[in-house]
């Protein structure tokens, strides 16, 4: 069996499964957020009753993150619905925006968009927050009401996005009927060269197979090249499986996975036991390819979909209006570090926005010094508009007052993961997906360039 088949067989209590089988699997964690949480709660109450209790309150994780820092009253109200539900159910893992469990959330526009407006429990973008808060463990099944839930496949688990109806069912029963996906294998060999990042790997892969090339399939990334990838790198790659239509992504378990997971579960007091899945000798793949990491170049996915792959060096004719660094894919500490390496001592020539994915990342950037400046200071010095209000922000457009949202038909180079028309706001805007290094270099040049033109200072 492949890693995904082995994991699903175990979650179904079966000795073996094969692609195409319909099986009931037990969920280890159900995650929801402010966009889909209220709908999920509505389904749960409708189907299980107004007084019903969730199947396991330790396994429901609620992370408001999408439409948070906006004056839109309906968006603010969504967070209040989550708070009321968490209180009623006694949920220990609700990462509220405010500290008062009986309060209401309102974004105060008079304080501006750059200064922190959240309390001590707020966790930021769900997919980055889940591992940081100790909710990702090898061998587990994670369902989330968000398509990029597949990011947790970096930790050797089965993680996939589901709709509100399925999530309402999981909330009540702790299980779900799913079809076992076929597995595509991407064997990684070699090492990335300077200027190339994990984002380039996944943009290359999606360019190879197309934005529907993995529809309802598992994407298994393995091979000797995995050892050189950090957990952040693996998360970036797994995050974008859905941009090829993938059901899930999965990486093998190794010492790096163990170190991360054990550190985070210990730090947060979450469940520490886990049981990874190891590869079998007789895995059957529907597709196999080798990705030579040392041959990859800085890559861009052009408008209008993530499969429109081009080398960055061939896109010098694309003039830009804006650059954006942020999201679950591109707003991690390591992403900002690479962004700052290119921008240090230089200045952007176009509007450039930086939105860390979580408050912990804000803290990392504001406390790590390079010489006498913090990484945060270096980015501000370079002209980047940095906000402390960690969240999804303009990655998915959001309400019209969202920080960094494209309200006019602009061209933007972005470290986010999706670029279908209208994704970041205006439906005639164009989004070019790239690595943080390519975003930084392009922000300096005002056009798309290969980051190797701007070696780190
Ligand atoms: S940052 Fe973007 S892709 Fe990630 S969860 Fe938020 S909206 Fe979705």
pLDDT in tens, 330-345: 999 999 999 999 999 9
Mean pLDDT, range 174-196, rounded to an integer:
98
Does the structure show a pLDDT above 90 at 348? yes
Ligand 1 closest atom vs CA 357: 1
Q: What is the pLDDT of residue 56?
A: 98
Q: Tell me how far the alpha carbon of residue 266 is from its chain's centroid.
A: 23
Report CA(203)–ligand 1 centroid distance (Å). 17
Does the structure show a pLDDT above 90 at 376? yes
Report the percent of the chain where pLDDT is more than 70: 100
Report CA(221)–ligand 1 centroid distance (Å). 22
Question: Mutation test of ligand 1: which of 151, 332, 415, 417 has the most ligand atoms closer than 8 Å to its C-beta?
Answer: 417
Ligand 1 closest atom vs CA 418: 3
- Homologous superfamily in CATH for domain 299-453: Aconitase, domain 3 (3.30.499.10)
Report CA(306)–ligand 1 centroid distance (Å). 15
Q: What is the pLDDT of residue 250?
A: 98
* Interval 36-81: pLDDT, tens: 999 999 999 999 999 999 999 999 999 999 999 999 999 999 999 9
Residue 127, ligand 1, Cβ within 6 A = yes
Q: Whose CA is nearest to atom 1 of ligand 1?
A: 327
Residue 396, ligand 1, Cβ within 6 A = yes
Residue 234, ligand 1, Cβ within 6 A = no
Residue 129, ligand 1, Cβ within 6 A = no
Does the structure show a pLDDT above 90 at 456? no
pLDDT tier at 419, thresholds 50, 70, 90? very high
Does the structure show a pLDDT above 90 at 221? yes
- Same topology for domains 3-177 and 181-295, yes or no? yes
* Interval 237-282: pLDDT, tens: 999 999 999 999 999 999 999 999 999 999 999 999 999 999 999 9
Q: Tell me how far the alpha carbon of residue 243 is from its chain's centroid.
A: 12
pTM for the predicted model, two decimal places: 0.99
Q: Whose CA is nearest to atom 2 of ligand 1?
A: 395
Domain ranges of the chain: 3-177, 181-295, 299-453
Mean pLDDT, range 369-385, rounded to an integer:
98
pLDDT tier at 457, thresholds 50, 70, 90? confident
Report CA(281)–ligand 1 centroid distance (Å). 36
pLDDT tier at 358, thresholds 50, 70, 90? very high
Q: Whose CA is nearest to atom 4 of ligand 1?
A: 328
Residue 125, ligand 1, Cβ within 6 A = yes
Report CA(392)–ligand 1 centroid distance (Å). 5
Report the percent of the chain where pLDDT is more than 90: 100
Q: What is the pLDDT of residue 252?
A: 98
Per residue, what are the HEC states of the chain? CCHHHHHHHHHHCCCCCCCCCEEEEECCEEEECCCCHHHHHHHHHHHHCCCCCCCCCCCEEECCCCCCCCCCHHHHHHHHHHHHHHHHHCCCCECCCCCCCCCCCCCCHHHCCCCCCCCCCCCCCHHHHHHHCCCCCCCCEEEECCHHHHHHHHHCCEEEECCHHHHHHHHHHCEEEEECCEEEEEEEECCCCCCCCHHHHHHHHHHHHCCCCCCCEEEEEECHHHHHCCHHHHHHHHHHHHHHCCCEEECCCCHHHHHHHHHHHHHHCCCCCCCCCCCCCCCCCCEEEEEEHHHCCCEEECCCCCCCEEEHHHCCCCECCEEEEEHHHHCCHHHHHHHHHHHCCCCCCCEEEEECCCHHHHHHHHHCEECCEEHHHHHHHCCCEECCCCCCHHHHCCCCCCCCCECCCCEEEECCCCCCCCCCECCCCEEEECCHHHHHHHHHHCECCCHHHCCCC
Q: Where does 3-177 sit in CATH, by number?
A: 3.30.499.10
The helix-helix angle for 231-239 and 255-268 (nearest 10°) equals 90
Ligand 1 closest atom vs CA 65: 6
Residue 328, ligand 1, Cβ within 6 A = yes
Structural class in CATH, domain 181-295: alpha beta
pLDDT tier at 34, thresholds 50, 70, 90? very high
Report CA(123)–ligand 1 centroid distance (Å). 14
Mean residue pLDDT of the chain comes to 98
Q: What is the pLDDT of residue 254?
A: 98
Mean pLDDT, range 290-299, rounded to an integer:
98
* Interval 124-174: pLDDT, tens: 999 999 999 999 999 999 999 999 999 999 999 999 999 999 999 999 999
């Amino acid at each position: 069996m492949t890693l995904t088949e082995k994991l699903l067989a175990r979650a179904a209590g079966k000795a073996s499964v094969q692609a195409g089988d319909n099986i009931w699997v037990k969920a280890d964690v159900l995650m929801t957020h402010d966009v889909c949480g209220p709908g999920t709660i509505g389904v749960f109450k409708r189907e299980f009753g107004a007084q019903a209790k969730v199947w396991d309150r330790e396994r429901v994780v609620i992370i408001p993150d999408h439409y948070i820092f906006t004056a839109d009253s309906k968006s603010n109200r969504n967070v209040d619905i989550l708070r009321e539900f968490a209180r009623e159910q006694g949920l220990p893992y609700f990462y509220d925006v405010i500290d008062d469990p009986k309060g209401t959330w309102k974004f105060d526009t008079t304080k501006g968009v750059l200064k922190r407006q959240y309390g001590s429990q707020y966790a930021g973008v769900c997919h980055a927050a889940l591992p940081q808060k100790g909710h990702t463990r090898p061998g587990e099944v994670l369902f989330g009401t968000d398509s990029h839930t597949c990011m947790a496949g970096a930790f050797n688990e089965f993680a996939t996005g589901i709709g509100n109806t399925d999530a309402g069912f999981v909330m009540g029963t702790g299980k779900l009927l799913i079809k076992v996906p076929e597995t595509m294998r991407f064997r990684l060999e070699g090492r990335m060269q300077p200027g190339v990042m994990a984002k380039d790997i996944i943009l290359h892969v999606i360019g190879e197979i197309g934005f529907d090339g993995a529809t309802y399939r598992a994407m298994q990334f393995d091979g000797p090249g995995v050892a050189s990838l950090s957990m952040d790198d693996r998360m970036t790659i797994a995050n974008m499986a859905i941009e090829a239509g993938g059901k899930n992504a999965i990486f093998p378990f190794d010492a790096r996975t163990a170190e991360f997971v054990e550190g985070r579960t210990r730090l947060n007091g979450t469940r520490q036991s886990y049981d990874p899945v190891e590869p079998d000798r007789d895995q059957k793949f529907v597709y196999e390819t080798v990705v030579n990491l040392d041959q990859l170049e800085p890559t861009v996915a052009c408008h209008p979909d993530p499969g429109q792959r081009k080398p960055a060096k061939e896109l010098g004719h694309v003039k830009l209006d804006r650059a954006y660094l942020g999201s679950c894919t591109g707003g991690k500490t390591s992403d900002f570090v690479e962004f700052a390496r290119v921008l240090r001592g230089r200045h952007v020539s176009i509007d450039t926005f930086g939105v860390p994915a979580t408050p912990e990342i804000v803290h990392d950037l504001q406390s790590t010094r390079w010489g006498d400046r913090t990484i945060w200071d270096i980015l501000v010095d370079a002209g980047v508009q940095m906000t402390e209000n960690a969240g999804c922000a303009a990655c998915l457009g959001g309400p019209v007052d969202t920080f960094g949202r494209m309200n006019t038909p602009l061209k933007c180079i972005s470290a986010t993961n999706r670029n279908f028309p209208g994704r970041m706001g205006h439906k005639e805007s164009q989004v070019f997906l790239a690595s943080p290094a390519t975003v930084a270099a392009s922000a300096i040049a005002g056009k798309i360039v290969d980051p190797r033109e701007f070696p780190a200072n």
